[in-house]
Structure 1
């Protein structure tokens, strides 16, 4: 169960090597979280991530999870929940893709969509159902400001995040009154391995800043969190900009 401050005692991260996910785990462990599950494809990076969290004093376990294999999600994630209640699930997996390459290789574009959207639908529904069964818990979904309005520079990734964001909003409405909180997190450009080598955009942030925003959002029972907060205003302006003007922007 969460403590009096809304901090989970148990945490499941879908995307166990995610820098945002691990930053969130470190922050939660420093508060009161004691059990962490890292779900991801087996790899040295996953084991190293688990060892790093164990060094902070948490009981850390890993579980094989593949976003591109939704047929396995119910069984795989069911085993995690069978071990005991999970206070918070962080859906943190996703791929950025390469817009220029993926436009020329439709199957690569489809893989981006399958990872970021259809894989998330499957895992999100399984986890939301399990949280509802236990009667409490939070599902935190990492979306992106890129989903607010598709841009020429990354409309494949952006469209997948737009779908994920809409799904999470609807799921939050469906879970209302069940004891399950669904919180959407919309970061801007995050300095991480995923964005290494890309031109940094204004209001860039860090995994640690996103982790802080997640903690504050849980405490406040927020339904949506923007990181940094100023992105809410920026994206609202871009979303309502007339299309002829939007097309002239260097985005």
Structure 2
């Protein structure tokens, strides 16, 4: 169960090598979290991440999980929940893709959508049902401000995040009153290995800042978290910008 401040004692991470997810796990372990499951494709990186978290004092196990294999999600995730209640599920897997390449290769574009959206729909529903059965717990979904309005420069990635965001919001409505809770996190540009090749942009953030915002959101039992918070107003303005004007913006 979560403690009196809303901090989970047990954490399941879907996307166990995500820099944002690991920053969040580290932060929560320094608070109250003691049991962590890192779910991802079996790789040395996953095992190394688990070992680093063990060094912080948590009991950490790895789970073989593939977002692109939805037929396995019920069995794989069901085994985790069968071992005991999970206070928080952090859905952190996803790929950025390469817009220029993906526009020319529809199969590659579909893979971005399958990873970021359909994989999340499948695993999200499995976890939501388990949390509802428990009667408590939070599903934290890493969305993106890119999903607020598709931009020419990354509309494939942005559209996949738009789908994920809408799904997570609807799932939160479906779980309302059950004891389970969905929190959608919308970071802006996060400085990670995945974005290292891209130019810096205003209001960029870090995995540690996102982790801090997630902790605060858990304490407040928020439904939506923007990182940084100023992006709420920025994206609201962009969302309502006339399309003829929006097309001329350097986005």
Residues of 1 paired with 2:39 and 2:88: CA distance?
A: 13
Residues of 1 paired with 2:221 and 2:28: CA distance?
A: 16
Residues of 2 paired with 1:96 and 1:120: CA distance?
A: 15
Q: 1:85: how far off?
A: 0.4
**Equivalent position SS for 2:23:** helix
| Two-structure CA RMSD over aligned residues (Å) | 0.3
Number of matched residues?
A: 251
Residues of 2 paired with 1:199 and 1:95: CA distance?
A: 18
Q: 1:81: how far off?
A: 0.3
**Equivalent position SS for 2:183:** strand
TM-score scaled to structure 1, two decimals? 1.00
Q: What's 2:164 paired with?
A: 164
Residues of 2 paired with 1:135 and 1:233: CA distance?
A: 34
Q: 1:223: how far off?
A: 0.3
Residues of 2 paired with 1:131 and 1:196: CA distance?
A: 35
Residues of 2 paired with 1:13 and 1:169: CA distance?
A: 19
- Map Cα deviations across residues 57-113 of structure 1 (whole Å, 9 max, x no partner): 000000000000000000000000011100000000000000000000000000000
After superposition, where does 1:40-59 map in structure 2 within 5 Å?
40-59=40-59
- Map Cα deviations across residues 119-149 of structure 1 (whole Å, 9 max, x no partner): 0000000000000011100000000000000
- Map Cα deviations across residues 184-234 of structure 1 (whole Å, 9 max, x no partner): 000000000110110111100000000000000000010000000000000
After superposition, where does 1:1-251 map in structure 2 within 5 Å?
1-251=1-251
TM-score scaled to structure 2, two decimals? 1.00
Runs of 4+ more than 2 Å apart: none
**Structure 2: unaligned runs, 5 residues or longer:** none
**Equivalent position SS for 1:120:** helix
- Map Cα deviations across residues 164-199 of structure 1 (whole Å, 9 max, x no partner): 000000000000000001000000000001101101
**Equivalent position SS for 1:31:** coil
**Structure 1: unaligned runs, 5 residues or longer:** none
Residues of 2 paired with 1:113 and 1:192: CA distance?
A: 21
Residues of 2 paired with 1:77 and 1:124: CA distance?
A: 10
**Equivalent position SS for 2:190:** coil
